[in-house]
Chain A
Amino acid sequence: MSRAGRTFLLWLLAMLAGAAIVWNSRFSADMSFFLPAHPSAEQQVLVDQLKEGAVARLLMVSIGGGESAQRAALSRELRGRLAKLPAFVSVQNGEAGSEAADRDFLFRHRYLLSPAVSPERFTEEGLRRAVGNSIDLLASPAGMLLKPLLTRDPTGELVEQLAGLNAGAQPNSRDGVWASRDGERAMLLVQTAALGSDTDGQETALNTIRQQFAASAQAVGLAEAKLQLSGPGLFAVNSRATIKDEVARLSLISTFAIVAVLLFTYRSFRLLGLGLLPVVSGTLAGVVAVSLLFGTVYGITVGFGAALIGESVDYGIYYFVQSGRNGLAAWRARFWPTVRLGVLTSVCGFGALLFSGFPGLAQLGLYALSGVIAAAAVTRFVLPPLTGEQIGMRDLAPLGRRLAAASQALHVLRWPVLVLAIGATAVLITQRDQLWNPELSALSPVSPADQAVDMALRADISTPDSRYLVVIHGATREAALQAAEKTGAHLDRLVAQGLIAGYDSPARFLPSQATQEQRRASLPAADDLRRKLQAALVDSPLAANKLEAFIADVDNARQAPTINRDALAGTSLALAVDALLLNHPAGWSGLLPLRTGPQAIDSAQLRAALAGSGALFIDMKGEFDKLYNDYLHEAMLLALGGVLAITVLLALTLRSPRRLAALLLPLVLAVVIVIAGLHLLGERLHLLHLIGMLLIVAVGSNYALFFDRTERHRPLDPETLASMLIANLTTAIGFGTLALSEVPILQAVGMTVGPGAILALLFSAIFVPRETAA
């Protein structure tokens, strides 16, 4: 077999092996792209919440159109249909039935659930006080609820339970079902059986709701009914669809545009085919590397491929164009070191991202890094044997000569460019406070329209704001519930001090077995209770002999078994407990969301109050902001580190401060002008713009290097100049395509690097030292 044949076979085998790995890779488009790789304890709660938490499984449904009564009928019909399906754990629409079931449960188990039940409460004095309180309560309008229950619950245990609940945040109702604030839409709240991180399951659930809605609308005869859905599940499904579309669309656009440029340049399908080898190899190598190191490949990472196509096609162009006239050996001797150095600067730039704790960024870095290395290696070692000595490249010298003439003329632009750069710097300095977008949501792939719908539905259904959480842990469910009760006692003190307005706890509806048994043991036997009541109620307007129903209920409660999670089935309390009690491999976590009063929550004060109790206080918004700021801070360090590595690499190679400065100047100018331009266009900068700046330096240094290298030996030859222009064009197309993306992460990189690459080439040509050229 010929050498070319052997080389090709080896390449083909490597490709097949790569394809096999990719075939078995797991692709994902979920939110974990944004979640920290090594979370702190607080961040772990965020991660768990987003992946498994009950909130991530909630879907909000709104029904518009028709009359209020029709919408209510549709809401009932839809609830009836969905509640029967195993895909949904709970479907609520505010119908009276479900509330009655809850109240029934609370009343039936009041002696196990009421926090007020203790041995003292069933002494003579305790009974006198509790019954007295209930009678006082009858004087209030709130007492009207209590009156029919007085003979069975004279100590007011139901009131004690309801006291801890937040009755203020109920959604509006119209015609017996939940309605939006303006009353124009009926609202439902659905919890899916599928986890929030199970995007397929969420998609199925969403489609089921849509189908059942259409069937329900037909059943109640409301043809113009309009369905609106929102929730984390919808976001995940939509984001995945967007990213899938984007990957296909961007790669297609980028490939077509680049193929067009290459066909125009080569005028040969053979060269075009060969020229695409490094690209295909690079893209495949990128996915393989990410898959092997991370286990999961994010859709966004693959979307970044459009840029990599543009970058990796350059090496083939350099090789074909530059060796066309001088031959392979001359290319290796004269141009390969420059290309290699360019590859190394790109490696420095992309490699810096590898150290990111933001897994999405680390993946982008690894993907690009392995892609560039593979493409360069294929260009260097596979292309030459396959092309042979006779490349058959068409002569680009005429194009190059025109470019050379133009680049001579470009020197007059030196001062204008410097003035522009000074202006841009001034813009950046004076407006530095408004440059950055401080929100993590800037990176979210969720469209602003979806976010707006979500905000509106959330406000309509009064979904609780669970910004502040206290988290406890336990090895078993019982241990977690006991910890929740212990922490609850701490929080009760904070409520008494007015630091917080209240809190929720899984132990409210499902107290630990220990607590339930304690409460049960507090209940006196029937005769004992009867005697105590007689004594306690001597002067009371409520005669003890009217309370036989109470005595019977207490006696029953003494003999009833304690309640467990299964006992809650069929009530919405089950949903509340499941939302607040999470099971994971390491044990159980309990969440105690805090309610804020008129006074804002002081995080430091809460942390101090909970210190040593084993409970963790978390400000979710604070954690998200902190997470983003950590990313931003880290990205700044990485970008600086990357630029520093590139500078050191160039300094070591060039061994001349003057040449180094001449090489870096155009790159710095390109970065400054692009950033100022983005700002003036109204773009709020975020993390990925910062990464884009690093990539401008990494990619742009390739062009600057050619100018530097070639200038030292002899005037820039026309072929090289032409190859640079074409390479620049393909890179700009690759990154520029990303600017068309709807995914903010990709768009930001595209908008920064696309124009940045073009300016880097232009400025490199403008600032070529003239004396060396002469």
Chain B
Amino acid sequence: MINRLFAGLLLAALALPASAAFDVGQLMTDLARHKGGKAKFVEKKYISLLDKPVVSTGEMSYTAPDRLEKRTLTPKPELLLLDKELLSIEREKQKLTINLSNQPEALAFIDSIRGTLTGNRAALEKNYLLHLAGTPDKWVLTMLPSEQKIAALVLRIVVSGSKNQIRSIEYLQADGDRSVLSIEPLEVK
């Protein structure tokens, strides 16, 4: 038992040089190769005021390089569409369109997702300090806002995934609330 644990530690130590070769640059290259696809998502928001998390589910699709669609099915149908700089939200009969170039904070927030999807390191590093852990098969990218205005909204963004597929995005907000978006790919192109 002790031996096995020791062996595990040893293996991990041996693996270190190998994982050191896996850096942000490598991950970005992998991600950039991803040309898009469809996925199911489950998003859980943990809000301190509420006794239970708010859960929403639906489908997401991404078309490289700048079109992201998030279609929520429960609890209320909603469509969120990001097309270049235009973000639109359709909910019931309401439609809201925001030009992100007017909203630098929102753009930085959106760029955390878009930069990861497109493997755009420059866009991410403009607003965040990046820290990568894990292996190409199971990596965790932690982003810490470097800009005061963004830090006032979000403390940390943690994206994890496997190869060029993102599997979850977690936001820790400045007010202590947290949301976790889990992604289940439907097909991989």
Using CB atoms and an 8 Å cutoff, list the residues of chain A in contact with chain B: 135-142, 147, 150-151, 163, 167-168, 170, 172-174, 183, 495-496, 541-543, 546
Contacts and interface: CB of A to CB of B under 8 A. Distances in A.
Interface stretch (B27-35, B89-97, B118-126, B155-163): B89-97
A543 B45 contact: no
Contacts of B45: 138-139
Contact of A546 (B49, B56, B96, B102): B49
Interface string B90-111: 0101111101011000000000
B179 to A, nearest CB: 9
Contact of A172 (B43, B93, B102): B102
Given A139-B54, A140-B56, A140-B91, A147 B47 contact: yes
Contacts of B76: 136-137, 139-140
A142 B96 contact: yes
A541 B54 contact: yes
B50 A135 contact: yes
Nearest to B95: A168
B121 to A, nearest CB: 25
B50 A542 contact: yes
18 contacts: A135-B54, A136-B54, A138-B54, A139-B45, A139-B55, A139-B76, A140-B76, A141-B80, A141-B89, A142-B96, A147-B177, A151-B49, A172-B101, A172-B102, A541-B50, A542-B50, A543-B51, A546-B49
A480 B101 CA distance: 41
B52 interface: yes
Contacts of A170: 102
A85 to B, nearest CB: 29
Given A139-B75, A139-B76, A167 B49 contact: no
Interface string B29-71: 0000000000000010101011110111000000000000000
Contacts of B47: 138, 147
B112 interface: no
Nearest to B92: A163
Contact of A541 (B51, B91, B99): B51
B72 interface: yes
A501 to B, nearest CB: 8
B99 A172 contact: yes
Nearest to A543: B51
B184 interface: no
Contacts of B97: 168
- Which of A141, A173, A541 is most buried by chain B, counting CB atoms within 10 A of its CB? A141
Give the bracket for the number of chain B residues in contact with chain A: 20 to 34
Contact of A150 (B43, B49, B91, B96): B49
Contacts of B80: 141
A459 to B, nearest CB: 14
A136 B74 CA distance: 9
A147 B175 CA distance: 11
A135 B55 CA distance: 10
B49 A140 contact: no
B78 interface: yes
Contact of A167 (B43, B78, B96): B96
A172 B97 CA distance: 12
A699 to B, nearest CB: 59
B66 to A, nearest CB: 18
Contacts of B52: 541
Contact of B89 (A142, A151, A174, A541): A142
Contacts of B75: 136, 139
Interface string B168-188: 000000000100000000000
Nearest to B97: A168
A140 B50 contact: no
A218 to B, nearest CB: 29
Nearest to B76: A136
Contact of A140 (B51, B89, B101): B89
A139 B56 contact: yes
A140 B78 contact: yes
B102 A139 contact: no
A136 B72 CA distance: 11
- Which of A140, A167, A543 is most buried by chain B, counting CB atoms within 10 A of its CB? A140
A544 to B, nearest CB: 11
A183 B50 CA distance: 42
A402 B50 CA distance: 107
Nearest to B102: A173
- Which of A150, A151, A170, A541 is most buried by chain B, counting CB atoms within 10 A of its CB? A541
A23 B47 CA distance: 78
Contacts of A183: 101
Contacts of B55: 139
A40 B56 CA distance: 55
A542 B43 CA distance: 19
A173 B52 CA distance: 38
A750 B101 CA distance: 52
A143 to B, nearest CB: 8
A135 B76 CA distance: 11
B44 to A, nearest CB: 9
A543 B45 CA distance: 17
Nearest to A547: B49
Contacts of B177: 147
Contacts of B96: 142, 167-168
Given A138-B50, A541-B54, 12 more contacts: A136-B54, A136-B76, A139-B45, A139-B55, A139-B72, A140-B89, A141-B80, A141-B89, A142-B96, A150-B49, A168-B97, A541-B50
A704 to B, nearest CB: 67
A173 B107 CA distance: 13
Contacts of A139: 43, 45, 54-56, 72, 75-76
Nearest to A183: B101
Contacts of B93: 495-496
Contacts of B49: 147, 150-151, 542, 546
Contacts of A174: 102
Nearest to A140: B78
B60 to A, nearest CB: 13
Contacts of A140: 56, 72, 76, 78, 89, 91
Given A135-B50, A542-B49, A163 B94 contact: yes
B69 to A, nearest CB: 13
A493 to B, nearest CB: 12
A136 B73 CA distance: 12
Contacts of A147: 47, 49, 177
Contacts of B43: 139
A185 to B, nearest CB: 15
A495 B76 CA distance: 20
Contacts of B72: 139-140
Contacts of A142: 89, 91, 96
A766 B72 CA distance: 85
A18 to B, nearest CB: 62
Contacts of A173: 102
A175 to B, nearest CB: 10
Contacts of A151: 49
Contacts of A543: 51
A161 B173 CA distance: 27
B171 to A, nearest CB: 11
Contacts of A141: 80, 89
Across the A-B interface, the 4 shortest Cβ-Cβ residue pairs = A139-B56, A541-B52, A541-B50, A136-B75
Contacts of A168: 95-97
Interface in B145-170: none
Nearest to A142: B89
A183 B91 CA distance: 30
Contacts of A135: 50, 54
Interface string B8-41: 0000000000000000000000000000000000
Nearest to A179: B102
A545 to B, nearest CB: 11
A84 to B, nearest CB: 28
Nearest to A150: B49
A147 B78 CA distance: 18
Contacts of A546: 49
A677 B101 CA distance: 53
